[in-house]
Every structure is written in structure tokens, then in C-alpha cells.
């Protein structure tokens, strides 16, 4: 599915990958590596006080997985912009399905629409990325 983007039909899926499942140890490792030590991702008691059943996956870890989807699938393209909206939390212990669709071309720049969702669950992260073809500046 991750063939040359130039040949993809606008509106079609261009990349998909399933990551995880992520467990608490993965969250601790990400917290230490990223410096985001918010206890919402580390301490179940704190997460419950915040209104969740258990610790939740860092939104930025989910976004990093979407980033991997892009850089794995399109290593020669230049990422110009990358934005996400975190619409619902990603629970621990569930595989995370990341998908990319070609939304449009703006000259030599592809607009990619992204989603990340726990397997069988609602979309947790919606995103957009702008990827420029090599040599297009």
C-alpha cells in the first residue's frame, strides 16, 4: 500500500501499520525519554482521580507512531507540517492502528490525512501531514 505516492489515487489509503499494544512499562520508557512525566501516564491512582480507568497513553506517543507511519512509508519525502488533534484517549494494552490517506495534492506537496485508533475502538487521533516530493523545495 505504500508504493510511490505519486501513483496513488486521491482519497485512497496510502499506508497502514499496527503498533503496540503498549503496556505501562512502554509508557514509563516514553515518559523518561520524552521528559513528559505527567502522572496521568504513570500512576493509576492519579489517572483515576483525573476520571480515567487506568493510565492512558501519551498523546505525543500516539503522534510519534503516526510519525513513524509517515517516515517508514515515505522515507524520501520531506515532511513540512504535521498536526494532530487528540479526540479521545488511547487506553493501555490495546494495539494501535495507524492509517494514512492521500487527501489532495498542492503542487508537489501531498496532503495526507491520518488516524490512530485502538484496535476495534473509536479514532483517538486525527491528523494531517504535508509531504513534499524530493527536489520540490
Partner 1 sequence: MAIDRQFIGFRLAPFTVTVDGAKLRQFSAAIGLHGTGPLPTYLKVIEGEGNSSRKILAALGVELSHVLHAEQEFEYHADFHSGDALTVERTVSDIYERKGGQLEFIVVDSVIRHAGGELVGRTQQVILVRHPTPVVAA
> Which grid coordinates are listed for 7?
501513483
Find the binding residues for partner 1 in span 5-24 (CB under 8 A). 19
Of 16, 21, 24, 60, the residue at the interface with partner 1 (CB under 8 A) is: 60
**Cis previous bond, 19, omega within 30:** no
- CB–CB of 130/111 below 8 Å? yes
Minimum CB distance to partner 1 smaller for 11 or for 72: 72
Q: Is 11 helix (H, G, I), strand (E, B) or coil?
A: coil
**90, 57 in Cβ contact below 8 A?**
yes
Contact segment (CB under 8 A) with partner 1 among 2-10, 59-67, 97-105, 107-115 equals 59-67
User: Does 114 participate in binding partner 1 (rule CB under 8 A)?
Assistant: no
Report the distance separating Cα 9 and Cα 89, nearest Å.
31
Q: Shortest Cβ distance from residue 70 to partner 1 (Å)?
A: 7
Q: What string marks each residue from 64 to 93 as x (binds partner 1 by CB under 8 A) or -?
A: xx-xx-xx------xxxxxxxxx--x----
CB nearer partner 1, residue 63 or residue 92: 63
Q: Does 136 bind partner 1 (CB under 8 A)?
A: no
Do 60 and 94 touch, CB atoms closer than 8 A? no
CB 119 within 8 A of CB 94: yes
**Grid cell listed for 51:** 476520571
Which residues contribute to the site for partner 1 (CB under 8 A)?
19, 26, 29-30, 32-40, 46, 49-51, 58-61, 63-65, 67-68, 70-71, 78-86, 89
Amino acid at each position: 500500500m505504500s508504493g510511490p505516492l505519486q501513483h496513488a489515487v486521491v482519497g485512497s489509503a496510502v499506508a497502514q501499520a499496527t503498533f503496540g499494544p503498549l503496556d505501562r512499562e512502554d509508557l514509563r520508557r516514553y515518559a523518561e525519554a520524552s521528559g513528559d512525566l505527567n502522572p496521568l501516564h504513570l500512576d493509576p491512582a492519579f489517572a483515576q482521580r483525573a476520571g480515567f480507568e487506568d493510565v492512558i497513553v501519551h498523546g505525543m506517543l500516539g503522534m510519534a507512531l503516526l510519525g513513524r507511519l509517515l517516515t517508514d512509508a515515505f522515507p524520501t519525502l520531506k515532511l513540512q507540517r504535521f498536526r494532530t488533534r487528540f479526540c479521545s484517549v488511547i487506553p493501555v494494552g490495546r494495539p494501535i492502528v495507524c492509517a494514512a490517506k492521500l487527501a489532495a495534492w498542492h503542487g508537489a506537496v501531498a496532503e495526507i490525512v491520518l488516524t490512530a485508533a485502538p484496535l476495534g475502538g473509536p479514532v483517538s487521533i486525527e491528523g494531517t501531514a504535508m509531504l513534499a516530493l524530493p527536489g520540490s523545495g
